[in-house]
Amino acid sequence: MAIIFIFLILYAWYLYLRGKKVYALLIFYFFASWGFQIIPEETMSLMPGFSKGQDYALILIGGCVGFDFLFVKGRYFKRDTFSVYLLLFFAFLLACVLYSRFTVGCSWSDILRVSRLYMLFVSYFVFRNMTKEELNKLLNIIYHITIIQSCIYILQVILSVEILNTMSHSVITIGDWKIMRYYNQPLALYFAAFMSIYNPPSKGLLRVFAIVVFSLSILLGFNRSSTGLFVLALFLGYILRLPKVKQINVTLIAVAIMIPVIAVVGHNFVKSRTYQDFKAVAEGRFADANVELYIMYNSTFAYRVGHLFERIHYLDENPQARLMGPGLIAEDSPMAGQFNFILGLQNTSGNIYQLETSDITYSVLLIRFGYLGTVLFVMMYFYMIYFFFKKRSNKHAFASFLFMFLTLGVSFFSSNLMISVYFIIPLLMMNLINKEMKSETDSIEKKK
């Protein structure tokens, strides 16, 4: 069946060369979003090491970059502020690849499997070469696809049957009610939710329907960190939309309410077992063979902090890995046996995942790229949130800023920055906003 996806790539290239870039990039999004989260990964397997949607997405977008480089007049990789950050990161990635192959001794297969996700950032240059109308059309299609995905997600909970791509699930008990909790929420859910509130592509009943569907999908995920940050982002959006005098008043009231709450919570926290967990982490006792691991696992955030600190401890103990990490080693590579981390999720064999985790982004970044690569990677995200905040008067930028605020917050509780959709959508939005603002400026100039 994988041969069908190869033909789909060829068809996307054909569309791209014919000027139908929206549909070509929609196929790219199809692959990057794991077949709109409908196509099982095993059906995409073409050969060992080539089995994920992002493999097809990388080939597709690489071809588009090649076509543009050959046929677009002018400097294709012309410099703008974000492209400087991007090219710096790509230069680091190339150095990391060479270091991993010729110094560490990683196989080319392992290097490609680990680095392929980050190569998808090259889609920025493809989006930059599309028109405002094309980007807007692509965005609207993705938005409506997310509405359909959210309806399917809600249907899963109602029927207690997993329909979207299989991920882990659990049972939530509320009184006498037992509700299935599925972890396969639509990848663009939170972005589409912000759009439906602050910049809806559709009006009237369809907009109301979208808000209800997105809200239900968020609530039925029963994810405390994501839901809490979503509510916080909505509150931040409410404040930023107020006149400046009211912004100050509302902020002061919120601070006045929060001070006693923080005092009470802080007092209880210091007396809690979680506080003892943090002390254990700060003292480095996560690496002690006698540590009571169940305490860390029962305290979710303390476990995440411990997971991160254990990787930091590894870098401190191995100076050669501090700058660029220990190498681009795949989780299932024999070379992964050199690590002996005790904190992490268990695989099907009951062993601890040494290099991968879905619990916190920064553990993965540090063990992949060391301190330098982590800083370069995170800098791109900080630039994006700064970009959207600075241009928040634009209808698209405001929703994008709130999404990036949530994205960076959630990165301490998940590996969301390792999911391509979480950077592909912001890259699309940056180019759309730049083109919209340039169009507005040109229109003003013409009127003068």
Per residue in 119-151, pLDDT tens? 999 999 999 999 999 999 999 999 999 999 999
How confident is the model at residue 90, as a pLDDT?
A: 95
Judged by average pLDDT, the poorest of 71-75, 100-104, 123-127, 278-282 is 278-282
Contact call for residues 250 and 239 (beta carbons, < 8 A) = yes
Contact call for residues 192 and 210 (beta carbons, < 8 A) = yes
For range 235-248, the mean pLDDT? 81
pLDDT band at residue 267 using 50, 70 and 90 as cut-offs: very low
172: pLDDT strictly greater than 80:
no
Cα separation, 262 vs 119, in Å, equals 42
How confident is the model at residue 295, as a pLDDT?
A: 47
How confident is the model at residue 70, as a pLDDT?
A: 86
328: pLDDT strictly greater than 70:
yes
How confident is the model at residue 40, as a pLDDT?
A: 81
Question: Look-up: residue for tokens 């890995």?
Answer: 321
Domain spans of the chain, in order of start: 2-151+360-447, 272-338
How confident is the model at residue 269, as a pLDDT?
A: 47
Contact call for residues 321 and 369 (beta carbons, < 8 A) = no
Cα separation, 172 vs 178, in Å, equals 6
Cα separation, 438 vs 432, in Å, equals 10
415: pLDDT strictly greater than 60:
yes
Cα separation, 170 vs 184, in Å, equals 12
Query: Average per-residue pLDDT in the chain?
Result: 85
How confident is the model at residue 264, as a pLDDT?
A: 52
pLDDT band at residue 354 using 50, 70 and 90 as cut-offs: confident
For the ranges 123-132, 174-183, 335-344, 355-364, the maximum mean pLDDT occurs at 123-132
H or E element, residue 342:
none
pLDDT band at residue 204 using 50, 70 and 90 as cut-offs: confident
CB proximity list for 163: less than 8 A, separation 6 or greater? 152, 155, 156
How confident is the model at residue 331, as a pLDDT?
A: 87
- Three-class SS string for 235-247? HHHHHHCCCHHHH
pLDDT band at residue 288 using 50, 70 and 90 as cut-offs: very low
How confident is the model at residue 256, as a pLDDT?
A: 79
221: pLDDT strictly greater than 70:
yes
Judged by average pLDDT, the poorest of 53-62, 82-91, 157-166 is 157-166
How confident is the model at residue 290, as a pLDDT?
A: 38
252: pLDDT strictly greater than 90:
no
282: pLDDT strictly greater than 60:
no
32: pLDDT strictly greater than 90:
yes
Q: What is the pTM of this model?
A: 0.89
Return the higher-pLDDT residue of 74 and 216.
Answer: 216
Contact call for residues 106 and 327 (beta carbons, < 8 A) = yes
237: pLDDT strictly greater than 60:
yes
Return the higher-pLDDT residue of 341 and 263.
Answer: 341
